[in-house]
Chains A and B, each alone.
Chain A
Amino acid sequence: DTGVSQDPRHKITKRGQNVTFRCDPISEHNRLYWYRQTLGQGPEFLTYFQNEAQLEKSRLLSDRFSAERPKGSFSTLEIQRTEQGDSAMYLCASSLVSGMNTEAFFGQGTRLTVV
């Protein structure tokens, strides 16, 4: 499968625990995005990488959240001291910016439930 891959697909954690999610983008894609989606809403932007550089973070990304993309390949999103409000689907997307084409391709998401 050459699409965007996310792991795990589901995560249940107790409030206060730390969790880490992984995203493997399409191999030649230079941009990687993280979005969060709550029930009945559209995805909301969290952060974005151009190769290994994190170029923008949303105000939604509190200091408990950190994302990395070492060597411009896979990315990880860590949430420290999870809260019930962090329960959501976390979506990763990648794109290859080439001229006018910036089509984004999404993974299957990681559904986080904080109990």
Chain B
Amino acid sequence: KQEVTQIPAALSVPEGENLVLNCSFTDSAIYNLQWFRQDPGKGLTSLLLIQSSQREQTSGRLNASLDKSSGRSTLYIAASQPGDSATYLCAVTPNTGFQKLVFGTGTRLLVSP
């Protein structure tokens, strides 16, 4: 059974810092990996999707990497801003049967001005 773990569970940084969020998964047979942002009480916003054949994806100040063989992904946020404060969720699509997302429990990020 695929399990996704995110470390740390919570992170507090001052504005301007670069930071890394970690995601690990137990089964490397994945179709892709997706990073989401969730604001309190809201739905999920897709940030980046990495196909299993890719090593990384970039969007603005965000860079996500994928090492499928070791079951790890990182989300790098450059020059953090208070507006980045949210919960960041990692999810994998197992490469078996139909394609549902298996989520981690998220990292709650607080960026202080």
Contacts and interface: CB of A to CB of B under 8 A. Distances in A.
A31 B102 CA distance: 16
Interface string B20-47: 0000000000011010100001111110
B90 to A, nearest CB: 8
Nearest to A9: B41
Q: Could you say which interface size class chain A belongs to?
A: 20 to 34
A109 B43 contact: yes
Interface string A75-106: 00000000000000101010001001111111
B99 interface: yes
B43 A102 contact: no
B98 A104 contact: no
A11 to B, nearest CB: 14
Query: Taking chain A's interface residues, is the majority helix, strand, or loop, or is none over half, making it mixed?
Result: strand
Interface string B38-62: 0001111110010101000000000
A56 B100 contact: yes
A31 B41 CA distance: 24
Q: Could you say which interface size class chain B belongs to?
A: 20 to 34
B42 A103 contact: no
B106 A102 contact: no
B89 to A, nearest CB: 6
Interface of B: 4, 31-32, 34, 36, 41-46, 49, 51, 53, 89, 91, 93, 97-106
Interface of A: 4, 6, 31, 33, 35, 40-45, 48, 50, 55-56, 89, 91, 93, 97, 100-109, 111
29 contacts: A4-B43, A31-B99, A33-B101, A41-B105, A42-B4, A42-B91, A42-B104, A44-B103, A45-B101, A45-B102, A50-B98, A55-B98, A56-B97, A56-B100, A89-B41, A93-B101, A97-B99, A100-B32, A100-B51, A101-B49, A102-B32, A103-B32, A105-B46, A106-B44, A107-B43, A108-B42, A109-B42, A109-B43, A111-B41
